[in-house]
């Protein structure tokens, strides 16, 4: 979840495969998902201090879809590209459900000031013991499309090794780096190629902001290159499961 410019599973039906909507055709209408109003009600179970929601924050329906996957599929090793409200809400959810040491979250952030804010918020709420905010500045990357910067390879790999202790990832949430500016639509493309070796069989892969042309093209490339079949609904997310 990019920074601003937030235990009961609900409404888990996610959507249709992108291959069923003509390879993420922008004119196709996804199956209705869990709406934002109902999602806000569900997220109220994760109450706590106010969080700074903004234009870059995941939609409430998308956050509920992520929380549902965590709860229903027992996700315990999570990597999030882009940090913020979603990081704090995931930490609240997992801390309330599991004992200390029962999970690990690595939230990757390119902006050092925002990374510091997320760390401080986790500390203020005393929910950060099993969450690592990895600062990885944007840099040239061998998998980048259109020469767009992605997370610094060495910083990313070192941070994930420290955060996860070598454990495989069972949920990858791709909501960074920022891709909304003109010319940056493919900024998130390297994620799956760079991190697939870390994914456990049966892991969930999620991409946010799939209503945008750039993310739709990222999905097309991922599906073509990996064989994964992504589902999407009007939550803003697309979801696939790694074969296991």
Mean pLDDT along residues 37-49: 93
State both tokens at 183. Answer: 């010319």
Which residue's entry shows tokens 């929910």?
127
pLDDT band, residue 30 (cuts 50/70/90): low
pLDDT band, residue 32 (cuts 50/70/90): low
Mean pLDDT along residues 42-50: 94
pLDDT band, residue 233 (cuts 50/70/90): confident
CB 136 within 8 A of CB 155: yes
- 229 secondary structure, DSSP code: -
Quote the strand ranges of 11-163, DSSP E.
16-17, 77-81, 104-109, 131-135, 138-139, 150-151
State both tokens at 34. Answer: 């869990």
State both tokens at 243. Answer: 């074969």
For residue 232, the surrounding DSSP H or E stretch is strand 231-232
Residues 6+ apart with CB under 8 A from 22: 28
Among the listed ranges 29-38, 68-77, 97-106, 170-179, which one has the minimum average pLDDT value?
A: 29-38
CB 81 within 8 A of CB 191: yes
Is the peptide bond between 126 and the residue preceding it cis, with omega within 30 degrees of 0? no
Among the listed ranges 120-124, 149-153, 159-163, 176-180, which one has the minimum average pLDDT value?
A: 176-180
- pLDDT of amino acid 6: 33
- pLDDT of amino acid 18: 36
Please state, rounded to an integer, the average pLDDT across all residues of the chain. 88
**Does residue 11 surpass a pLDDT of 80?**
no
pLDDT in tens, 195-206: 999 999 999 999
pLDDT band, residue 193 (cuts 50/70/90): very high
CB 4 within 8 A of CB 10: no
Burial class for 183, CB neighbours closer than 10 Å (0-12, 13-18, 19+):
exposed
Q: What is the pTM assigned to this prediction?
A: 0.87
CB 104 within 8 A of CB 80: no
- pLDDT of amino acid 182: 85
């Amino acid at each position: 979840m990019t920074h601003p410019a937030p235990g009961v599973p609900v409404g888990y039906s996610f959507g249709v495969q992108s291959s069923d909507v003509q390879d993420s055709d922008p004119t196709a209408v996804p199956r209705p998902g869990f709406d934002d109003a109902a999602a806000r009600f569900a997220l109220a179970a994760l109450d706590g201090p106010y969080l700074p929601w903004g234009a870059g924050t995941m939609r409430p329906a998308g956050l509920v879809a992520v929380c549902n996957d965590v709860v229903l599929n027992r996700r315990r090793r999570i990597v999030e590209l882009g940090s913020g409200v979603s990081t704090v809400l995931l930490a609240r959810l997992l801390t309330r459900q599991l004992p200390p040491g029962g999970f690990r979250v690595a939230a990757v952030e390119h902006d050092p000031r925002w990374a510091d804010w997320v760390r401080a918020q986790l500390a203020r709420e005393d929910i950060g013991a099993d969450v690592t905010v990895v600062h990885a500045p944007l840099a040239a990357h061998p998998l980048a499309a259109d020469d767009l910067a992605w997370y610094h390879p060495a910083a990313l790999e070192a941070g994930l090794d420290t955060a996860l202790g070598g454990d495989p990832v069972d949920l990858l949430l791709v909501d960074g780096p920022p891709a909304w500016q003109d010319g940056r639509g493919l900024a998130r493309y390297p994620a799956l190629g760079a991190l697939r070796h870390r994914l456990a069989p049966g892991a969930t892969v999620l991409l946010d902001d799939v209503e945008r042309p750039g993310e739709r093209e990222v999905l097309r490339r991922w599906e073509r290159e990996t064989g994964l079949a992504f589902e999407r609904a009007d939550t803003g997310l697309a979801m696939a499961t790694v074969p296991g």
